[in-house]
Amino acid sequence: PGRKEGNRSRAEAEVWGGGKMERLKGKVAMVPGAARGSGRATAKLFAAEGAKVICVDREPEVEETAKAIKAAGGTAIALKAE
């Protein structure tokens, strides 16, 4: 069905190929539980998609998530809250 790039279709290559995608450009995402686990992964994914991210968690590691997003060129703030 689509053109192949290696073992993946072109659509799969666009999703997994590491190219910058901006499906959330111009959006703001608030991500609860952003200090670790799936919340942290979600915050980083949303930032990679172009969103400005508000990382929310009661744990102090939420600061590390925001710093990692900024270091990768994204926009994020950390908010310590329950």
Positions of E strands within 1-82: 4-5, 8-9, 28-32, 52-57, 75-80
Q: What is the pLDDT of residues 29-78, one digit of tens each?
A: 999 999 999 999 999 999 999 999 999 999 999 999 999 999 999 999 99
Q: Which residues contact 1 (CB under 8 A, 6 or more apart)?
A: 9
Count other Cβ atoms within 10 Å, centred on residue 22.
11
Confidence of residue 7 (pLDDT cuts 50, 70, 90): low
Q: What is the pLDDT of residue 58?
A: 97
Conformational region of residue 19, where left means phi above 0, alpha means psi within -120 to 50, and beta covers everything else: beta
Q: What is the DSSP letter of 70?
A: H
Q: What is the pLDDT of residues 19-34, one digit of tens each?
A: 567 899 999 999 999 9
